[in-house]
Amino acid sequence: DIQMTQSPSTLSASVGDRVTITCRASQSVSSWLAWYQQKPGKAPKLLIYDANSLEGGVPSRFSGSGSGTDFSLTISGLQPDDFATYYCQQYRIYPLTFGGGTKVEIK
Amino acid sequence: QVQLVQSGAEVKKPGASVKVSCKTSGYTFTNYYLHWVRQTSGQGLEWMGTIDPRGGVTKYAQEFQGRVTMTRDTSTSTVYMELSSLRSEDTALYFCATQTSPYCTDGVCFPDYWGQGTLVTVSS
């Protein structure tokens, strides 16, 4: 199985900050990587697919980059609605695997 | 619009089975794979498996092989996930999710529409 490792596990930031979350795969996943946002008790929401393609309706302050084994999600200008937990997911091969999550909390 | 509506919360005893349903609407049911993903308390997301609604072919995560069964009913556009031999560690929020991107040609893809989740509690 491909292991997905996110860092940091928790990130404290303020409204307006630029934040970056990283995700590392245990082997290459090419660009077959997605990012999700999840709020407590809710389903994950797709933000980014194919490492850097923005899902429709997602604000442009979200962006993704990377390929192979190293990826990042950047939020440029953190908004109050962005405080949540973020997960990466690889879809290179079965089983689909997710990172452990990064919680973005208010500083 | 695409909607996935799951059945309600369940409380089960260890050793029992649970069957969770996921009723879909707003799209052609047989066009898109359906996944099941679970989330234990305070933990991350764990993919359990997927089903192709066209022919009912399934792919399960190794961890759940022999304990999970995913089925579908094309007449009601509903998929089911049954998990047997329940233990306390199976207490979790279970999600169904579908993948509607035209880039997805099989189940190895990214789910983009999710159900609301079904809480399954396993307790004696």
Q: What is the mean pLDDT of residues A18-33?
A: 97
CB–CB contact B45 A44 (8 Å): yes
Give the model confidence (pLDDT) of B4-34 as tens digits. 999 999 999 999 999 999 999 999 999 999 9
Residues of B contacting chain A (CB within 8 angstroms): 35, 44-47, 50, 59, 61-62, 95, 97, 101, 103, 107-112, 114-117
Give the model confidence (pLDDT) of B61-113 as tens digits. 999 999 999 999 999 999 999 999 999 999 999 999 999 988 887 888 999 99
Chain A positions in Cβ-Cβ contact with residue B112 (cut-off 8 Å): 46, 49, 55
- Name residue, tokens 């189940």: B107
Complete edge-to-edge strand list for the sheet that includes strand B78-83: B3-6, B18-25, B78-83, B68-73
Give me the pLDDT at residue A46, please. Answer: 97
The DSSP-derived string for A35-46 is EEEE-TTS--EE
Chain B positions in Cβ-Cβ contact with residue A49 (cut-off 8 Å): 101, 103, 110, 112
pLDDT beyond 80 at B43: no
Structure tokens at B115: 């159900």
**Close Cβ partners of A49 (under 8 Å, ≥ 6 residues apart):** A33, A34, A55, B101, B103, B110, B112
pLDDT class of A71 with cuts at 50, 70, 90: very high
Q: How far is CA A31 from CA A66, A76, A100, in A?
A: 7, 22, 19
Least Cα separation, residue B73 to chain A (angstroms): 23
